[in-house]
Amino acid sequence: MSGTGRPRRSDLPRLRDSVAWMLAPHTRPELTRRLPRLLFGLVLCGLGIALMVAADLGLGPWDVLHQGLTARTGIPIGTVGILVGLLVLGLWIPLGERPGLGTLLNVVVIGVVIDVVLLVLRTPDPLWARTAMMLAGPVLFAIGSGYYIGAGLGSGPRDGVMTGLARLGVPVGVARAAVELTVLAVGWLLGGTVGAGTLWFAFGIGPMVHWALPRLTLRDAEPGTRGALRPMSSR
C-alpha cells in the first residue's frame, strides 16, 4: 500500500489473487449451492455457543477466553469473538495461510448470532434447564460444523493457525493442545467460566463433528473442481 492508503500498482495483482482465492474453486452455481449451507452452519454454531453461555456451566476453550475478555471490557462476547478472530486471522500472514470466503464469514457471522441470541436468552433458574442447554450447545455446534465445513469454502481462522504451524513442522496435536490450553488458562484467569460444559465440549465435539461431517459434506459437482480446505473444526 502507498502512504495515501491507495494500493500501489504492484499491489493490484496480489489483491486480485486474494479475491480469486476466496471465490475459488467454485463458479457462481456452486457458490449458490454452497453458501446457504455455509451460513446455516454458522448460525447453528453461534446458537450452540449462545446456549452454553446462557447455561453458565462452562464453555469451550476459545469461548472461555472471549467471556473472560468480556468480563474485563464489557464488550459483548460475540463481538469479542469477532475481534479475536480478526487478530487470529492476522497470524495467517506470517504462516502463509490464505483465507477462503468461509473464513471471513466465520469470523463475523458466529459472533453476530451469539450477540443477537443473548439479547433475548437468559440463564434459567432450574439446574435441569441449564444442563439441557449446556448439553444441546455442542450438539448444535457439531451439526453446524458439519454444514459449514462440508460447504468447502474455507477453514476457520483458528484452524488456519494450526495448519500453518503444522507446515512449519509443529505436530498438529501438539499445536492445538498448546494453543487451546493457553487460551483456556488465560480466559479462566480473566473471569471466563470453566465447568462441566468445558469438559463436554472438549471431549464431545470431536466425535460429534466426526459423525456429522461425512453426512453433511457436499460433493464437488463440477469436473475438475479443486478441493477446499477441510478444517478440524468450524472455528
Whether 221 is in a domain gets the answer no
Whether 14 is in a domain gets the answer no
Whether 197 is in a domain gets the answer yes
pLDDT at 11: 46
pLDDT at 229: 37
pLDDT at 93: 76
Whether 19 is in a domain gets the answer no
Whether 156 is in a domain gets the answer yes
What is the rounded distance in angstroms from the CA atom of residue 186 to the CA atom of residue 111? Answer: 20
Domain range for residue 42?
37-216
Under 8 Å CB-to-CB from 209, ≥6 apart: which residues?
A: 142, 145, 146, 149, 233
- The pTM assigned to this predicted structure is 0.81
Residue carrying C-alpha cell 480478526: 86
pLDDT at 157: 87
Whether 195 is in a domain gets the answer yes
The total domain count for the chain is 1
In tens digits, the chain (235 residues) has pLDDT values of 444 444 455 444 544 454 454 545 566 777 888 999 999 999 999 999 999 999 999 999 999 999 999 999 999 999 999 999 999 988 887 777 777 888 899 999 999 999 999 999 999 999 999 999 999 999 999 999 999 988 888 878 887 777 777 777 778 778 788 888 999 999 999 999 999 999 999 999 989 988 998 999 887 643 333 333 344 455 7
Whether 23 is in a domain gets the answer no
- What is the sign of the dihedral through the CA atoms of 157, 152, 105 and 26? positive
Assign 227 to helix, strand or coil.
coil
DSSP state of 11: G
- Strand ranges in the chain using DSSP code E only, listed in sequence order: none
Radius of gyration of the chain (CA): 18
Whether 235 is in a domain gets the answer no
What is the rounded distance in angstroms from the CA atom of residue 97 to the CA atom of residue 28? Answer: 24
pLDDT at 234: 53
